[in-house]
Structure formats: C-alpha cells, structure tokens
Amino acid sequence: MMKLSEEKFNNTNSAPVTRSSDRYLRYIARKTLFLISCIILLFVMMIISVSVGTLSIPMEEIVRSLVGLESNYSNIVWHIRMPRVLAGIVAGASLAVAGAVMQSILKNPLASPYTLGLSQSAAFGAAFAIIFLGAGSAISGTTGTVIVNNPYIVTIMAFVWALVGMTFIMILSAMTRVSPEAMILAGVAIAAIFQAGTTALQFFADSIQLSSIVYWTFGDIGRVTWSQCGVLIAIMIPTLAYFIYNRWNYNAMDAGEETARGLGVDTGRMRIIGMILSSLLSAVVVSFMGIIGFIGLVAPHITRRVIGGDHRFLIPGSALIGAILLMGSDTLARTIISPMVVPVGVITAFLGGPLFIYLLVKGYKK
Amino acid sequence: MMLKVDDIEFKYRSTPILDEVSFSVEAAEVVSILGPNGVGKTTLLKCINGILKAKKGTVMVGKESLTDMSRLEIAKRVGYVAQKSDTSMATVFESVLLGRKPYVRWDVTREDVRVAGEMIDRLGLSDLSMKYIGEISGGEFQMVQIARALVQDPKILLLDEPTSNLDLSNQVRIMSLIKDTVEQNNISAILTMHDLNLAIRHSNRFILLKEGRIYAAGGVEVLTPDVIGEVYGIPVCVETIRGQPVVVPA
C-alpha cells in the first residue's frame, strides 16, 4: 500500500466524520436495496399484469393456476397471459441491457438498438419476407384484420437482416480502428439506408402487404409463444452473464479509452464483443416482437440517474427497469381501451419520449 | 535500476514518431520528459506501458520485461494518468477504487475498498468521496486520477501533463504530491511537462526530445539556453533565482 505524508495532504478545512470506505459501503448497500426493491416491484407487477385484461382474473385463481391446482382460468393464465408477461420481462430486460452496454462501450448516451439501425434493418428483413417471400398476404375473413401468415419466415428474415446491419456497422467501424464515434456514425448511416430500403419495398407492395409490414413494425409482445420465450431466455442468460462478468471492464472504459487501457483493458476487443452480443440480443427481440422503441434508451438512463454508472449495479438495474417498463407498458396497452389492444411500441414511445425529455431537462439543470 | 527503456522505435503508419529512444530511471526518481508539442512525449509514455506497441525496443521494470507482458500484468506494475480522461457518472470513491481493477478476480474485496478509502482519506478527498466526478474541480479531478494510479500499487508512475489546466496552487500541490509519493515509496515517476520551471523545481532529471529522438538528458545542468533554444526553437535565458534556475524567454 502506498504511503503518503498525511499532514501534508490532509484537507484541513473539515476532518472527515467517518472514513470514506465506510461511507462507500453504506452507499453500496443503498444500491443493493434499490435492486431488491425493483425485484419486488417486478414480481408485484407480474401478478397484476397476469390479472388484468379483457377478462379480469382474481389473484386467488392466478395463484391456483401457477401452483398447478385446478382453476377455470388455467388456460388463460398459462397459454395467453404468462407467455406475454414473461416475454415482456425478457424482452424489456434484453433491450435495456443491450442499450446500457451500447451506451457504455460507444460512450454515447444516445446509443440503443433503435438509434444504431438494428431495428430498421430488422424491419427491412420483415418487409422483404412479406413482399418477396409471401409471408404476409392474408386478411382474416371474420375481423378484416391483417395476418402475417408465415411468422417464422418473417422472424428469420428480420433476424438475418438485423445481423447484416450489425455486420455492416462492425466492418465500417473496423475500417476506422473501432472508435466509438465511427460505430455511432456507421449505425446512423445503416439506419438511414435500411429505412430507405423499407420505404422502397413499401412502394412496390400491394395494400395487404403494406398493412402487413406496418402491422409487423408495431411492436407486439402478444405474438410470442412459449418456445420463442425459450429462445429469448436461452440467448439472454449467457449474454447477460458475459456482460456482468465484464462489468469492471465497462467501468474502466467509462473513465476513458486511455485510462481503461492503462488499467489492462483491451478496449477494442471489449467493444467488438460487446457490440456483437448486444446487437444479437436486440436482434432476437426485434425479430420476434417487432420494433419496440425507447426501452433500450430510457431504462439505462433511469437506472443511471438513480444508482449511478457503476456497471455492477447498472447492468442488473437496467434489466429490471427495462422489464418493469415493458411489462407495465404492455399491461397499459391491454387495458387502456380494452377489449382493443394498443401495440406496445406505441405506449413505450408515448411514455418513453416525455420521460426521456424530463430526464434530459433534469440532468442539464443539475 | 527501476526502469530501463532500450532503443524504442515507433511509427504512425509510415511516419516515424520515436527513434532510438533509450534511457533509464532509478528508484525514488522523478524524470520529466520535455519538448515541444507533437515531439512524441505522450507516445513515449504509451509505448512504456504498452498502450501503443513499439515497433522496436524493450522496456524493463527491474528484471521483468514489460514488452512480453499482458496488459493486465503491466497494469500491476505501471500506473498511468492520462492527459485526457472522461468525467463518467462515477463517484470519487468509485473512480479511485477502479485502480484496483488489475487485481480484481470476480469483484473487489473489502481489502480493495479499504485501500481505496485509505488513499482518499490520506489525500484529503474524504469530503468529496461520494460526489460525482462531474461535480468536482479540475485540481480535485487530477488528485483523483493520481489516487487511482497509486492504488494500482505501481513501481512506475507515468503522468501525462499532470498539471495542465491547473491553477498555480494546484500545480504545486500535485507536483509535491508526486515527488513525496515517489520518495516515500521508493518508486519512479516519469512525467511529460510543458512548464519548464515547474519541472525544474520538482524533477530529479530531464529528457529533452527533438524530432522523436533524445536531444539531451541529465540533471538540471543540461537545461542550458542553447539546449532549450534548440529544442523549442526560441531564444531563452536561464537565470538563477533563490538558488534555482528559472527559464525565461529572451
């Protein structure tokens, strides 16, 4: 341990009441308490979310269904509400964590799956599948609503094109030595290109195909099945584990490129792997559920504002806040003009936009 | 001998930045690297701690070669205070604790927290420990950066323009802190400096770079008007005030 002559450097203005490390440990305890509170809130909201909807389910019946006892509501709980709630939790957590990591490694508060063009490239893939692979040209005879009649092709194409978008970003940024600025600018360029591509495809689409494309781009959690939930979880858990494992590297990168390298971090490698995994995470969510904006942008900002930028707490905190926001938005989407269901992407944008402006103004005032 | 830099050569694309740079630094010694902007001072520091890979040459700390070491192992031996550092959303304590990163396996231990806390308390930063970096002054931020490098427990401290953008009082405070730390812990410090008089007052030896090569090296006696004039390209006088040389533009 380094020695220093205390009398020479001690701040004589005011002696510390307690040692800094004690204060820090109390500070850490408060952050831990925040995470625990979020877990409790998530659980409460999960129960509420399963309960409300076109048909209200009493709490007692939810518990009976969940523990396997006989209930009239078992089918609704297990086959309609639970996959939706679970998908909301997993997708919200995935988008938020992807946003938190992107914002850190790119050193840009605007970085998110949406602003980096991944959502736009996935939307292009979906539009391509609907128009050229015949995946979305049917109208329900009874309700007149548009049905994507081959969701698997749409999902696969959305995913493939999201990866194509990500690959473009990585190649462009590698050509410029993987700088954060290059990655952001490449993302903006990719977003513009794929947005233009989707518009061009829409120009050639007939009215039903056009409706299908618009329908797909509305983010909707209700499309997700149990097996798709399984895929989302299978990708989220190892990715989240990787991000949590590297939390100290992200902390170092927050302090600046050179400081991080001086602390032994291979910043280029961290940035490439972080971008690939966060893009993969968001690509899976977008391809299953369509475009859900603002969760990836807002959830990390809310978490940062409450518990600061330490990635040991920021990553799990963002995941929890993202899950709460998306599940809460979906619950609102199902109840606000029940029995109609508003696309959750509309709710997240309506809630997220003003919330983001509020955080921005509050931040600047400070 | 604490540090030995031998025949370092560095090129950016095909432009030579450093050529045949060799010097050594003893324990408890503060060495200032001097020279005009763009001469390769920062590049030299980055080559020493492996942030930049030198095209040629070796760096030894004691009997260990840094050239063959991983970044993480280098970070356990060399503390680096960069010229540019970002004001992240971290508190002062978190920023200093980050210096323990090279030793972190899964997470920081209570011992790491104690070491960081002790450094903060000793540097008189206790009252700021829970403040965000963006809320403290430039001088305090520089103290935090040095504290972070010191909790790395380094044998060599590299500081890139540690007093730039600081007022007179903070300049003296930071330089005194560096000199005292180096002497008390028997480590070495290499600084890049623009303020020749501050360097003269707080350094044991000087290395003057010109066009990527060492033009002159040694104690205060090498800082003659001719040498300084040749390196910086302007005429200067060196006068003695209270027994210490002071460089004044002619």
> Residue A12: what pLDDT?
41
**B53 in a domain, yes or no?**
yes
**Other beta carbons less than 10 A from residue B37's beta carbon:** 7
Which residues does chain B have within 8 Å of residue A255's beta carbon, measured at their own beta carbons?
A: 85-86, 88, 90, 95, 98, 148
Contact state of A259 with B82 under an 8 Å Cβ cutoff: yes
Does one domain contain both B6 and B27? yes
Instruction: Say yes or no: A55 contacts chain B, CB-CB below 8 A.
Output: no
What is the rounded CA–CA span in Å between residue B234 and residue B250?
8
**Other beta carbons less than 10 A from residue B107's beta carbon:** 9
Do residues B248 and B237 make contact, with C-beta atoms less than 8 angstroms apart?
yes
**B177 in a domain, yes or no?**
yes
> Residue A19: what pLDDT?
78
The pair of three-digit structure tokens given for residue A331, joined into one six-digit string: 């619950």
Does one domain contain both B1 and B60? yes
Which of B228, B219, B231 shows the shortest CA–CA distance to B249?
A: B228
Instruction: Say yes or no: A252 contacts chain B, CB-CB below 8 A.
Output: yes
Q: Examine the fold and report which residue of B108, B130, B151 is the final residue of a domain before the chain moves on.
A: B151
Q: Which residue of A has its CA nearest to B42?
A: A258
Does one domain contain both B26 and B114? no
Contact state of A20 with B125 under an 8 Å Cβ cutoff: yes
**Other beta carbons less than 10 A from residue A197's beta carbon:** 18
User: Count of domains in chain B?
Assistant: 2
Host domain of residue B170: 1-77+154-224
Does one domain contain both B99 and B210? no
**B212 in a domain, yes or no?**
yes
pLDDT per residue as tens digits for the range B213-248: 899 888 888 888 898 988 898 888 888 888 888 888
Does one domain contain both B112 and B51? no
For B203-208, what is the mean pLDDT? 92
**B163 in a domain, yes or no?**
yes
What is the rounded CA–CA span in Å between residue B210 and residue B34?
9
What is the rounded CA–CA span in Å between residue A12 and residue A25?
24
Does one domain contain both B122 and B160? no
**Other beta carbons less than 10 A from residue A26's beta carbon:** 11
Contact state of A27 with B104 under an 8 Å Cβ cutoff: no
Does one domain contain both B40 and B106? no
> Residue A223: what pLDDT?
78
Domain spans, chain A: 77-365
> Residue A311: what pLDDT?
94
**B32 in a domain, yes or no?**
yes
Do residues B141 and B121 make contact, with C-beta atoms less than 8 angstroms apart?
no
Residue appearing with tokens 């010694």: B29
Three-state DSSP state, B142: helix
**Other beta carbons less than 10 A from residue B95's beta carbon:** 27
Residue from B70, B88, B95 whose CB has the most chain A CBs within 10 Å, to mutate: B88
**B237 in a domain, yes or no?**
no
Does one domain contain both B61 and B35? yes
pLDDT per residue as tens digits for the range B33-88: 999 998 889 999 999 998 888 888 899 888 888 888 888 899 999 999 988 776 66
Contact state of B90 with A309 under an 8 Å Cβ cutoff: yes
The pair of three-digit structure tokens given for residue B212, joined into one six-digit string: 């990527």
Contact state of B90 with A24 under an 8 Å Cβ cutoff: no
**Radius of gyration over every alpha carbon of chain A, rounded to an integer in angstroms:** 23
Angle at A59 between CA A332 and CA A285, to 5 degrees: 40
pLDDT per residue as tens digits for the range B163-180: 887 888 888 888 888 898
Instruction: Say yes or no: A255 contacts chain B, CB-CB below 8 A.
Output: yes
Does one domain contain both B2 and B69? yes
Distances (CA, A) of B174 to A230, A300, B16, B78, B139: 56, 36, 33, 19, 8
Which residues does chain A have within 8 Å of residue B85's beta carbon, measured at their own beta carbons?
A: 255-256, 258-259
In chain B, residues 170-199 whose CB comes closer than 8 Å to chain A = 176-177, 180-181, 184-185
Contact state of B122 with A266 under an 8 Å Cβ cutoff: no
| ipTM summary value | 0.87
The pair of three-digit structure tokens given for residue B114, joined into one six-digit string: 């104690």
In chain A, residues 202-241 whose CB comes closer than 8 Å to chain B = none
Distance (Å) from the C-alpha of residue A130 to the closest C-alpha of chain B?
A: 44
CATH value of A77-365 in 1.10.3470.10, 1.20.1250.40, 1.10.10.10, 3.30.450.40: 1.10.3470.10
Residue B193: which residues within 8 A CB-CB, separation 6 or more?
B32, B33, B34, B161, B163, B199, B203
Does one domain contain both B8 and B113? no
> Residue A178: what pLDDT?
59
**B246 in a domain, yes or no?**
no
Which of A359, A259, A216, A237 shows the shortest CA–CA distance to A300?
A: A359
Instruction: Say yes or no: B43 contacts chain A, CB-CB below 8 A.
Output: no
Contact state of B122 with A11 under an 8 Å Cβ cutoff: no
What is the rounded CA–CA span in Å between residue A282 and residue A291?
10
The mean pLDDT value of chain B amounts to 88
Instruction: Say yes or no: A25 contacts chain B, CB-CB below 8 A.
Output: yes
> Residue A7: what pLDDT?
43
**B241 in a domain, yes or no?**
no
Does one domain contain both B59 and B180? yes
More confident residue, B33 or B134: B33
CATH of residue B181's domain is: 3.40.50.300
The parts of chain A modelled with pLDDT lower than 70 are 1-18, 135-151, 176-178, 363-366
